[in-house]
Every structure is written in structure tokens, then in C-alpha cells.
Amino acid sequence: MSLFLQTIICGILLGAMYALIAIGMTLIMGVMKIINLAHGALVMVGMYITYFCFKEWGIDPYLGMFISMPILFFIGCIIQKYLINRLVEVDSILPENQVLLTVGIMLVLTETMRLIFKSDYRSVATSYSSSTFFLGDISISIPMTIGFLIAMIFTWLLHLFLTRTDLGRSIRATAQDRDAAIYMGVNAPRITVITFGIGSALAAAGGSLLLPLFYLWPDIGHLFTAKAFIITILGGMGSTMGALFGGLTLGIAESLGATYISMGYKDVVGLIIFLLVLLFLPGGFKSLTRR
């Protein structure tokens, strides 16, 4: 029984951090309907900024997050404004050529970081990195718990932002029907720029939360891109709450898979859930709440 509980708790804590990364992607996919393969690379850049702040100035990763988030917001805005939006205006046979642009951006970001920081593996060892507390004989990691709480707070704040502010409502309107939103006087290109910025900033936040317990090297982005996709589809594009539930589901599914099937097959469990949701619940968890 304690093995089962341990597994579930690990899954929940990890899932929340997956969710935070995925929320950035779900926003971007919801508004722009494009597959952003550079998302993981943005997480990676955010992690490097946080890492740099820690190494150079001794800023704790949880505070460094507030430096990396605005920088990534800025980078995201620039990518959207000068690269992706340019392509939206062009008529092309397959809209998916935007995907390719994100592949190019991913390569450029990854290799730029490699030139600056080399390919070395880096990590941040804080005093709390591997501290734990025990509930009975179940061990709970403190940095993961902090990460979990911050992820929850961010999700909640973002939810408030999207539902209570004018800007947030404009973003949601653009996500639901871009043409109608433009008709109603929403400046859609500007909204997409801001959305990409927010999405990137959230990616940086997720990366920074993982930094104390994970590690960092330029190719780490692929890992996050794949997870974020799965969660985005699980939760339904554009839904923050959906992404949160999607993240938790994936975290728990992977943990259970690792415990009861095998560590090698744990990702298969996640992918099969992903396929099942795609087939039987194409709108993701979001569509459950609508009914």
C-alpha cells in the first residue's frame, strides 16, 4: 500500500511541474493553432538564465525565476512578432510550414546556448535540493512540493487573468474564433504576440522550478516538448485547467507505469493514454466540463 501511495504522490508532484510547462504550450496552441516544436527549447533557455543568475550572483532559483520570466516573455514576443506572424500573413499550401519555422527556431536556440554554455551538464545544488519530509513511510521531496505549490499559484493567477481582465478575455476570444475576434475589434496580431510571450514566460517558470531537482544541458528541450504536447492534447487546447489536469494525469500515469510495469515502458503508458484521449475524447478533458 505504501508503495502505491508513494507512486501516486510522486506522480502528482511531478505532474504539476509538467503542467506548468504545458500551460504555456496550450495557450500558444489554443490561440495560434500551431504546433510549437520550439517550446522545449524555450524552457531550456529559461533554465539557463536562472542557472546563470544562481552561478554568477547566487540568486536562488525560485527568485531567479522572476528574472528569467520577463526575459523569456520578451524573447517570445520577438519570435512571434518578427518570425511567426510574418508567416501567417503569407498564403501557403500547408499551414504546417509554421511548424518547420519552429524547428528552425529550436535549432538556433539550442545551438546558441551550446556556443555560450558548451555542452556540459550543469546543475544547481541548493541546500534544499534533496531535502525531504516523511508522512508515515512515504517520502516527500521539499523542492517538488514547493514546485507543486508555485505551479498551482501560477495556474490560478493565469486563470484569473484570462477570465477577469480585458486582455485575458481578448486572448480567449482570439483562441475561440480568430476572425470573429478581429471583427469585434480585437487586435489579433498583437494578442498573438502577447500570448506567445506569456507562454514562453510560463515555460521559463516551469523550467526554473525543475532546476533545483533536475539538471541542464542544451538538448534538454526535446524532453519537455514531447511532454507538453501530450498534456496539451489531454487537457484540450487553450484550457489552463485542462492542462493542469492533463499534467497530473500524465504524471500519475507515468509513475504507475514505472512502478507496476517497468521503468522502460513508463513513457508508453503516457502515450497510450494520449492516444485513447485523442480517439475517444478529442477535445480533451476540457470537453468534459462543457457538457
Partner 1 sequence: MKKYLAILAVLAMVMGVTVTAGCGGGGSQQEQGAQNVVKVGVILPLTGTEAMFGTMEKNSMEMAYEELKAAGKTTVNGKEIKLIFEDDQSKQDAAKAAAEKLINQDKVAMLSGGYSSANTNVIAGTAQSKGIPFLIVTGSADKITKQGWQWVFRGAAAPSSKYTSALWDLFDKKIKPRNVAIIYENTDFGTSSAEAFRAACKARGINVVFDQGYEKGAIDFKPMLANMKKANPDVVFAVSYVMDASLIVKQMKELDFNPRLFVGGAAGYTMPEFLENAGNAAEYVASTTLWVPSVSWKGASDYFKKYKEKYGKEPDYHGAQAYATMYVIADALGRAKDFTPAGIQKALKETDLMTIMGPIKFEDWEGYTNQDKPTTYVVQWQKGKLEVVWPEEAASGKLVFPVPKWSERK
Partner 2 sequence: MNWKGMIVPAIVAVIAVVLPFVVQAPYVQHIMIMVFIWATLGTAWNLLGGYAGQVSFGHAAFFGLGAYSAGLLIFHLKISPWWGLVLGPFISMLVAIPIGIICFRLRGPYFALATLALGEIFRLVFTNWVSLTNGAQGILILSSFPTKLPYYFIAFFIWGMSLLIVDRMVKSKLGYYFVSIREDQDAAESLGIPTTRYKMFALLPSAFIAGLVGAFYMNYIAFIDPHVVFSLSDISVMVILVVMMGGVATLWGPSVGAAIYVALGELFRAWLGAANVLAFGIIVCLVILFLPNGIIGELGTLKRLLSRQKAKAVMAGGN
- The alpha-helical segments, DSSP class H, found in the chain are 2-32, 39-57, 61-78, 85-89, 97-117, 142-164, 166-176, 178-183, 188-210, 221-235, 240-260, 266-280, 286-290
Which grid coordinates are listed for 109?
Answer: 536556440
- Piece of the chain touching partner 2 by CB under 8 A; list 165-173, 174-182, 187-195, 227-235: 227-235
> Taking CB under 8 A as the rule, does residue 97 contact partner 1?
no
> Taking CB under 8 A as the rule, does residue 234 contact partner 1?
no
Comparing CB distances to partner 2, the nearer of 147 and 242 is 242
The site partner of 226 among partner 2, partner 1, none (C-beta below 5 to 8 Å per kind) is: partner 2
* Interacting residues with partner 1 between 130 and 149 (CB under 8 A): 130, 132, 134, 139, 141
> Taking CB under 8 A as the rule, does residue 116 contact partner 2?
no
- Cα 195 from chain centroid? 13
Comparing CB distances to partner 2, the nearer of 149 and 261 is 261
Site string for partner 1, 8-47 (x = CB under 8 A): --xx--x---------------------------------
Distance (Å, rounded) from C-alpha 84 to C-alpha 102? 8
Comparing CB distances to partner 1, the nearer of 193 and 220 is 220
> Taking CB under 8 A as the rule, does residue 33 contact partner 2?
yes
Give the shortest CB-144-to-partner 1 separation in angstroms.
8
> Taking CB under 8 A as the rule, does residue 101 contact partner 2?
yes
> Taking CB under 8 A as the rule, does residue 158 contact partner 2?
no
State whether residue 215 is helix, strand or coil. coil
Comparing CB distances to partner 1, the nearer of 143 and 236 is 143
Distance (Å, rounded) from C-alpha 190 to C-alpha 274? 32
Residue burial 15-44, b: 16+ Cβ < 10 Å; e: rest: bbbbbbbbbbbbbbbbbbebbbbbbbbbbb
> Taking CB under 8 A as the rule, does residue 231 contact partner 2?
no
Distance (Å, rounded) from C-alpha 200 to C-alpha 39? 7
Interface with partner 1: number of residues (CB under 8 A): 39
> Taking CB under 8 A as the rule, does residue 8 contact partner 2?
no
Which grid coordinates are listed for 256?
Answer: 504507475
H or E element, residue 134: strand 132-135
The site partner of 33 among partner 2, partner 1, none (C-beta below 5 to 8 Å per kind) is: partner 2
Q: Which residues are CB-contacts of 210 (< 8 A; sequence separation ≥ 6)?
A: 17, 47, 147
Interface with partner 2: number of residues (CB under 8 A): 47
Which grid coordinates are listed for 82?
Answer: 518578427
Long-range contacts of 171-180 (CB under 8 A, 24+ apart): 171/27, 171/31, 171/195, 172/238, 174/31, 175/30, 175/31, 175/237, 175/238, 176/238
Which grid coordinates are listed for 68?
Answer: 528569467
- Piece of the chain touching partner 2 by CB under 8 A; list 13-21, 149-157, 209-217, 223-231: 223-231
The residue within the footprint of partner 1, chosen from 51, 154, 217, 245 (CB under 8 A), is 217
Q: Are strands 138-141 and 132-135 parallel, antiparallel or unpaired?
A: antiparallel
Chain contacts with partner 1 (rule: CB under 8 A) = 3, 6-7, 10-11, 14, 111, 114, 118-123, 125, 129-130, 132, 134, 139, 141, 210, 213-215, 217, 219-220, 223, 254-256, 258-259, 262-264, 266-267
